[in-house]
Structure 1
Amino acid sequence: MQQIEIEYKTLLSREEFDQLTAKFSDIPVVSQTNHYFDTADFALRKAKLSLRIRTLSNRAELTLKIPQTVGNIEHNLDLTLEDAKRMIATNRLEENKVTQLLQQDGFRLDNIQKVGDLTTHRREARLPIGLMALDENHYSGIVDYELELEVTDSKQGQKDFDHFLAQENIRFKYAKSKVARFVSTLKNELP
């Protein structure tokens, strides 16, 4: 499955996160882990690509994100938990529709390996302005908090996100993508 992802996000302080948690307390928390893949020299990252296997309690998916002028194109492939766990444990991606896109761009599957994990505890709600996610992220000994709004219209989405932040008295704090924040913790390993 292929889709365009347009989202707005801000990092949150612990106090802001707690404030929004109280507001969305009726929404259950869902935990998911992103297992990020790249080459030893981070060739995917250098090409501005992001590759992950996301595991949840009852399902998994492989996602390749390719940046666009507005948002990202996401190529998603549903996986069984068994298949996902096998690829993660063996550190080997199997050939499929998503990995074929990488191969077409000259990347060899046997050079792609898991570089690490990021676990998110998420409350997600469909609101009139879009799909909102309140995240607590754990990676490389770090915990951070983030609010995301996924939208279909970039201009209206920006206005709605800014309005929501103002209503909640939350100051916008630029948030790199989760994978970028995670990779920045590996800076000693980057070439």
Structure 2
Amino acid sequence: MLQVEREFKNLLTKSQYHSLLEDFKPLLSKEITQTNSYYDWDGILQSHKMALRIRIVEGKTIGEITLKIPQSSLEVLEFTHELPVEILHQYNEQKQFTLPLSIKETLESNGVFIEKVEQTALLTTHRFEGPLSNNEWLVLDESYYNGKVDYEMEMEVQNLSLGEEVFLKILQKYQIQREQAESKIKRALSSLSS
């Protein structure tokens, strides 16, 4: 499955996160806990600015392997391959796996030739999400990785300019400094070296 993800991200303090959560809770109808396991082979994906993750959502029987290929700072192509969580748990326990053919072929069409990958980072997120409108989907994340906790607001949008306007209004209303968040994988990986 191919999807274009358009989103704005901003890191939050704990108190900003709780203020937003309190005010937007009626709209954030979906609450989940998910674990992202990130994979690479000898830094090859990272050197191509790509990311590969296994995502398992608590209580679900199907999980996913997703290859992310950035198109710009705000748009990412996502190629997703769904599998039963039992198989994904095995991959995570072994900390390596052979790529599904669909992901392997997508990588090869982008000039990357690898067959298997090894786990590089692990991150668990408690997420609240819901629609603000037909164009914007608000996400509030509390993420745990390598003994660290961070807070983040994401807004997934259909239209970048309309979405950015709404995103910036929320930041302004809550007096939140615009601080573009690095991707979760980058934050998890950089925490390993600090």
Q: Structure 1-normalised TM-score? A: 0.90
Please say if residues 60 and 84 of structure 1, whose CA atoms lie closer than 8 Å, have aligned partners that are also in contact.
yes
- Does the 8 A contact of 1:103 with 1:109 survive in 2? no
CA distance in 1, matches of 2:128, 2:41: 32
Asked if structure 1 preserves the Cα contact closer than 8 Å seen for 2:125 and 2:144, the reply is: yes
SS at match of 1:107: coil
Cα distance, 1:88 vs. partner?
1.7
**Displacement of 1:94:** 4.1
Helix, strand or coil at the partner of 1:97: helix
Deviation at 1:28, TM superposition (A): 5.0
- How far is the alpha carbon of 1:171 from its aligned partner? 2.3
The reply on whether 1:157 has 2:166 as its aligned counterpart is no
Aligned with 1:30 (options 18, 29, 32) = 32
Where in structure 1 are there 5+ consecutive unaligned residues?
none
Aligned partner of 1:21 in structure 2 is 21
Which secondary structure state, in structure 2, belongs to the residue aligned with residue 158 of structure 1? Answer: helix
| 1:45 paired residue number | 46
| SS at structure 2 position matched to 1:113 | strand
Mapped to 2, the partners of 1:54 and 1:179 lie a distance apart of 12
SS in 1 for 2:192: coil
d(CA) in 1 for partners of 2:21, 2:112: 44
Q: Distance in 2 between matches of 1:28 and 1:77?
A: 23
8 A Cα contact 2:30 2:130, kept in partner: no
Q: What does residue 64 of structure 1 align with?
A: 67
Equivalent residue number for residue 82 of structure 1: 86
Is the CA contact 2:9–2:154 (under 8 Å) kept in the aligned structure 1?
A: yes
CA distance in 2, matches of 1:47, 1:187: 20
Identify which of 146, 149, 162 aligns with 2:152: 146
Distance 1:154 1:175 in 2: 17
Q: Which residue of 1 aligns with 2:11?
A: 11
Q: C-alpha displacement at 1:24, in angstroms?
A: 3.4
Alignment of 1:97-112 (within 5 A): 97-104=102-109, 105-110=111-116, 112=117
Q: Tell me which amino acid in the other structure corresponds to 2:64.
A: E
Per the normalisation by structure 2, the TM-score is 0.88
Structure 1 residue 103 displacement after superposition: 4.2
Which residue of structure 2 lines up, in the alignment, with residue 93 of structure 1? Answer: 98
Matches of 1:177 and 1:114, distance apart in 2: 17
Q: How many angstroms apart in 1 are the aligned matches of 2:39 and 2:19?
A: 34
Deviations 1:89-135 (A, max 9, x none): 2321343312332244342223x111120110000011115111000
Change in CA separation of 1:21 and 1:106 when aligned onto 2, cut-off 3 Å: closer
CA distance in 2, matches of 1:144, 1:173: 13
Q: Name the CA distance, whole Å, in 2 between partners of 1:106 and 1:11.
A: 31
Distance 1:22 1:160 in 2: 18
Distance 2:169 2:24 in 1: 18
Whether contact under 8 Å (1:87, 1:94) holds in the other structure is: no
Q: Which residue of 1 aligns with 2:177?
A: 171
